[in-house]
Amino acid sequence: MIRVTAVQPDSIAEELGLRPGSELVAVDGRPLEDFLDWEFLTAEEQFLLHVRQPDGEEIEFDIERPLGEPFGVSLEPARIRRCANRCDFCFVDGLPDGLRDVLYIRDDDYRLSFRYGNFATLTNLKPKDVERIIEYRLSPLYVSVHATDPTVRRYLLRNPTAPEILPQLREFADHGIEFHTQIVMSPGVNDGAVLRQTLDELYAFGPAVLGCSVVPVGLTEFSKHHLVREPTQEECRAAVALVEERAAIALSERGSHWAFGADELYLRAGLELPPEAIYDGFDQVENGVGSIRWLQQRIRTHHEAIAGWEGRTIGVVTGTAMGRLMPMVLEPLAAITGARFELLPVVNSLFGASVTTAGLLPGTAVQDALRGRRDLDLALLPGESVNDNGLFIDGMSAELLAAAVPVEIRFSKDFADALAMGAAA
Ligand code: SF4
């Protein structure tokens, strides 16, 4: 059963008398569990919908609607699938006390992998989940492989019952499912020969594995430093060499680069980022793979829309990781817009200086960085630093921040989105 949270005006749902609190029980006799069932089972033009109204009345509707016409309901969010692993590098373990409860949930959910590109390990799949992935053809999935060697993978995941990943992927691939994969590289565990083996085996798996990224493990001050450490510059260089070796083979054999190092891997290796052309479709840009090149591309593409900021000074708030790379984006941005950009790399006051990603910046640290900055015409903030409800990781709201600082703030994912709205008054 899925509960309706809102009904759009003038929609089919409103016409049927559905309202917030109505329960969608079954479609064509098949019980509904979550948004996947709802979307896939109602994809046809005609279906029987069993509804339980808030007053307990049960109704069966014979629905006929033109393909593509939205039904008009918002559904309560699915209960997140909990993770079955206990990775030493788990981000959740690295969270300080006192944050929003939802942040302490270890999610490992194939449905969010399909829908939003969240990486999942597939270690918590039940037979019914496997059937759904195949029946609904949830492809591509984003899969955290880490190591193809089952012993190493189980060690990394701290899950002695984790199923072997290659046979698992094979079962799905035989039904047409494809995968974007990642390896979070933990030095001394899955780098070196293990990394080579994992890249080799994933590549040899065949075209169903669309690509593989290598991301250096990131820790916070609260992580289990006695069990896991961050890679050295030399270890990152060695990983880059393996990635590029595999990418060169893939390019000659398959015409795509297939293997990618995260921007952070190059940064820690002290190496220049690869050119834009190697990132194929930027499939893992949300995973920090090719982010800088992607931003440069977006700025170029939208150059006309973002012009007209001459004489303005724009602050760019970011985490310290991107702070080192951001000049590569801000220089062309200044040339196109005419504005002067000031980079404001913010140290993470919540997790410690070792957490450098913009997505985890607390609102209070951003507030401190913008305190008294009347000289700025606008401050751009990383779009990923707030959730869908406009909350920073420390629970501060974007509204509260906007009221607390003396400069207009805009959230941005690629600069073009915020600057194309025109100059600040
Ligand atoms: S898979 Fe590992 S890192 Fe991801 S949530 Fe589970 S324990 Fe944490």
pLDDT digits (tens, 9 = 90+) for 138-184: 999 999 999 999 999 999 999 999 999 999 999 999 999 999 999 99
pLDDT at 58 over 70: yes
What is the rounded average pLDDT for all residues in the chain? 92
Beta bridge partners of 7: 73
- What is the per-residue pLDDT for 424? 57
CB 119 within 8 A of CB 182: yes
pLDDT at 321 over 90: no
Distance 392 CA to ligand 1 centre (A): 21
- What is the per-residue pLDDT for 423? 66
CB 148 within 8 A of CB 197: yes
pLDDT at 322 over 70: yes
Distance 361 CA to ligand 1 centre (A): 20
Q: Is 83 in the pocket of ligand 1 (CB under 6 A)?
A: yes
- What is the per-residue pLDDT for 319? 87
Q: Find all residues with CB under 8 Å of 15, minimum gap 6, and list them.
A: none
pLDDT at 425 over 60: no
pLDDT at 6 over 90: yes
Q: Is 337 in the pocket of ligand 1 (CB under 6 A)?
A: no
Q: Is 106 in the pocket of ligand 1 (CB under 6 A)?
A: yes
Q: Which residue has the higher pLDDT, 238 or 308?
A: 238
- What is the per-residue pLDDT for 256? 95
Distance 358 CA to ligand 1 centre (A): 20
Q: Which residue has the higher pLDDT, 165 or 44?
A: 165
Distance 249 CA to ligand 1 centre (A): 31
Pick the atom of ligand 1 nearest to 123's CA.
1
**Picking from 68-82, 106-120, 179-193, 251-265, which range would have the lowest pLDDT averaged per residue?**
68-82
Query: Which mutation among 106, 121, 142 tests ligand 1's pocket best, with the greatest number of atoms within 8 A of CB?
Result: 106
pLDDT at 303 over 80: yes
Q: Which residue has the higher pLDDT, 294 or 321?
A: 294
Pick the atom of ligand 1 nearest to 86's CA.
7
pLDDT at 196 over 90: yes
Q: Is 121 in the pocket of ligand 1 (CB under 6 A)?
A: yes
Q: Give pLDDT tens digits for 395-417.
A: 899 999 999 999 999 999 999 99
Pick the atom of ligand 1 nearest to 184's CA.
3
